[in-house]
Structure 1
Amino acid sequence: MAMSKAYQTYQNNSVNTATSGELTLKLYNGCIKFIKQAMQDLENKNYEAKNTNIKKSQNIIHELMVTLDMNIDISRQIMPLYEYIQYQLKEANIKNDSQALEEALNYVVEFRDTWKEVLKITRQQQYVKDGRV
């Protein structure tokens, strides 16, 4: 019981001290986790759990959508992709379609991997700017 509380405290602190870029990465990772779990639930014919995990994934994508600044060009390019992921998740949930889940997962993994690279480059530039190299 104490270990669970310690882990929860760690999780809370990691969110509370994360930069906005790190929080976005956590959202992508969470979405990937929930989609993978939904795929496993679908395979096991646990439709209630599949629904729950797809809904969690949809909520994360929705959060990513509402945080886009539509005054920035790249946001206007990303939005349709997020909408497509939402569509695939909805179709997967309604039709128990593992291929739609797989496609949504591939897009989210690609976004996550790209975001990791952005964070890496940003950190490197910050180190150079701060004279830490």
Structure 2
Amino acid sequence: MTNQGIAQYQRVSTQTSVMDADPHRLIQLLFNGALAKMAVARGAIERKNFEEKNRALNSAIDIVNGLRESLNLDAGDLAGNLDNLYEYMIFRLFEANAKNDVARIDEVHGLLSQIKEAWDAIREQAIATQPMQQVAR
């Protein structure tokens, strides 16, 4: 399969996943997307492909910002703490982009991976609290 064919398959697969996803799954997809973009950026830095690195980190920043914007800050301290952590991650990704620093990307990747693991662990509980029409998708 050519690179163009692979890219087209990934776009269709992603679109299908998003259309069929419940709210909990949508957040999982955002986590996966941000982590994947960070991995691409890391590889691009190692290959000295700075245009690709810039695109990938800007996408990762946009996704983390989307996660941040999805928080319900009225829900309590956890949401506020996540807001601060996402803000920190965005700052570190900007720094990584400016300095071509894989260590900063690795730091954010590790932090976001921990949040994703916790999010994945509550999937059954989250689905149980959703209205039936959302779960039935």
Q: What range is the shorter-chain TM-score in? A: 0.7 to 0.9
Corresponding residue for residue 12 of structure 1: 15
Counterpart-to-counterpart distance in 1, 2:101 and 2:6: 38
Counterpart-to-counterpart distance in 2, 1:10 and 1:118: 24
Is 1:84 equivalent to 2:88 in the alignment? yes
Offset of 1:108 from its aligned partner? 1.0
Is 1:109 equivalent to 2:113 in the alignment? yes
CA contact (8 A) 2:24 2:126 kept: no
Larger Rg: 1
Aligned length: 126
Identity, % of aligned positions: 24
Corresponding residue for residue 101 of structure 2: 97
**Which residue identity lines up with residue 108 of structure 1 in the other structure?**
L
Corresponding residue for residue 131 of structure 1: none
Residue of 21, 25, 31 corresponding to 1:22: 25
**Which residue identity lines up with residue 21 of structure 2 in the other structure?**
A
Q: Any unmatched runs of 5+ in structure 1?
A: 127-133
Normalised to the residue count of structure 1, the TM-score between the two structures is 0.84
Deviation per residue, 1:28-59 (Å, 9 max, x gap)? 00100000010000000000000000000000
Offset of 1:82 from its aligned partner? 0.3
Q: Any unmatched runs of 5+ in structure 2?
A: 129-137
